Amino acid sequence: MSDIRVRFAPSPTGELHIGGARTALFNYLFARKNGGTFVLRIDDTDLERSRADYIDKLIASLKWLGIEWDEGPYFQSKRLPEYTGEAERLIVENKAYRCYCSVEELASGREEAKKDNRAYLYPGTCRNLTTEQEEIFRKEGRKPVIRLRTPEEGTTKVSDEIRGEVSFDNYGIDDFIIVKSNGLPTYNFASVIDDLQMKISHIIRAEEHLSNTPRQIICAQALGYDLPKFAHVPMILAPDRSKLSKRHGATSVEEFRDQGFLPEALVNYMALLGWSPGRNEELLTLEKMIENFSLERVNKTAAIYDVAKLAWMNSQYMKEYDPKLLAETAIPFFEKKNLLSGKPDNDKKNKLEKIVTAVRERAKTLDELADNASYFLTDDFEYDEKGINKYFKKEGAAGYIRQAVSLIDNITEFEATALEESFHRLSEELQISAGRINPLVRLAITGRMGGPGLFETISILGRQKTTARLIRAADYIDSIK
């Protein structure tokens, strides 16, 4: 194992976002590629917004995607003494100080700044309080925060593996809060301490953190640690170029799963958002991704995600999936459509496997797959409106269907090839084209205009159901005349 160590550190304030998932994936790929260690850490220092059930969901989503971590999960909420200890040390070393300004006082200053159209910077009110002054504030019942004493001049340079060197003017960085008045550390403090103590070598995270990085560097310097390397990966944007949110449809891994996407497809798609293997390849196994991954090949540009391409990719994976596994994976989707209930026995499983194999060519998601297969599992379906006009209302339709009934009744070998031959003979006898009778039969037994090969469909459906549906359709045609 090399000393490469990376981490994914989500805060449990929601489901695993697609952007977060991709960050996790890049960290994972980078660790695997370099024989490093991938650490999972839960940044749960925000008491108000963190929720325990999100932790479980986060972990479930990562597992579903197949993104495995080597260490953790660590919880910031369990490391509180670390942070307060370090904060105390900084105060003793005069690198940090207590600030007694109230939220109201700060807010008014911020408003003032906004009115003048300038950025608000904490003015350093409490920078040099005497012990006596502190004593007075404490007696007033003020709960202090702890602020880091940041340099007023010079620049702080972020050396980014993806973007190169980015420098920030220290003037624009105020004495920010590292410990809140409730005693909990802020993100910019806790995560710095964790990253340093956990010996993280590369911080690979979303671009939105780039602006925070100089603060963290200053913080790390104050603490006296060596800096890790940084890599800020581009954001994932919605089709309208805005930040991806609920109104754009699915945004979390969980939602994509529920819509019927396969984890392999989602992972493959995410990997290609902001990264490319450098060759004209789109369909990549996880092994291939690992083999080819490098931060050097990660883009700087924000990527807009395109569900159509994800869907295409998903269909490609469905086609290659092991039929047994595909049937198994599709079960919840059948259940959701009331096409299946209870645990399927072996017979049922075999049947599902056949069905799924027959219809998967035409589906982009598992949801569509279940929909395409519905008539195999229920007799309860309507005839396609257009189909009724196009086929049922044509002269002789009921008659042809009844011919098909006797064909089905009399055929000895009930499988696709034999059926095809018999139907071929029938259309010759009737002196009509196959195009006249086949779609008619399809509509009668499936209610639809399209689907798998007709004879495959019949053979899966079985003799009984086929004849019953044919008779039902013939009667229906008579009834609408």
Partner RNA sequence: GGCCCCUUCGUCUAAUCGGUUAGGACACCAGCCUUUCAAGCUGGCAACAGGGGUUCAAAUCCCCUAGGGGUCACCA
CB closer to RNA out of 28 and 317: 317
Length of the chain counted residue by residue: 481
The one among 51, 127, 157, 319 contacting RNA by CB under 7 A: 319
Pick the binder of RNA from 78, 157, 199, 300 (CB under 7 A): 300
Q: Is 48 helix (H, G, I), strand (E, B) or coil?
A: coil
With binding defined as CB under 7 A, does residue 101 bind RNA? Answer: yes
The closest of 302, 96, 82 to 195, measured between CA atoms, is 82
Contacts of 391 (CB under 8 A, 6+ apart): 397, 439, 440, 443
- Minimum CB separation of residue 282 from RNA in Å reads 4
Q: How far is the CB of 87 from RNA (least distance, A)?
A: 13
Order the strands of the 71-75 sheet from edge to edge.
71-75, 37-42, 5-8, 202-206, 229-233, 155-160, 164-169
Q: Which is nearer to RNA, 191 or 467 (CB)?
A: 191
425 binds RNA (CB under 7 A): no
> Does residue 343 belong to the site contacting RNA (CB under 7 A)?
no
Does 17 help bind RNA (rule: CB under 7 A)?
no
Task: Using alpha carbons, list the distances in angstroms from residue 238 to 20, 245, 250, 265, 308.
Answer: 14, 8, 10, 19, 13
* Position 390 contacts RNA (CB under 7 A): no
Counting contacts by CB under 7 A, is residue 137 touching RNA? no
* Residue ranges in 321-396 assigned as alpha helix (H): 323-336, 346-359, 366-372, 374-377, 385-387
Binding-site member from 89, 209, 349, 402 for RNA (CB under 7 A): 209
Residue 210 in contact with RNA, rule: CB under 7 A: yes
Is position 246 annotated as part of the catalytic site?
yes
Minimum CB separation from RNA for residue 155, in Å?
9
Of 59, 72, 70, nearest to 35 by C-alpha is 70
Single out the residue of 212, 255, 290, 468 in contact with RNA (rule: CB under 7 A): 212
168-187 binders of RNA (CB under 7 A): 168-169, 172, 177, 180-182, 184, 186-187
CA separation for the pair 402, 473 (Å, rounded): 9
Shortest CB 395 distance to RNA, Å: 18
Which window, 127-135, 158-166, 249-257, 328-336, contacts RNA (CB under 7 A)?
A: 158-166
Token code pair at residue 87: 């904060």
Q: Are 195 and 228 in contact (CB under 8 A)?
A: yes
- Name the residues annotated as catalytic: 246
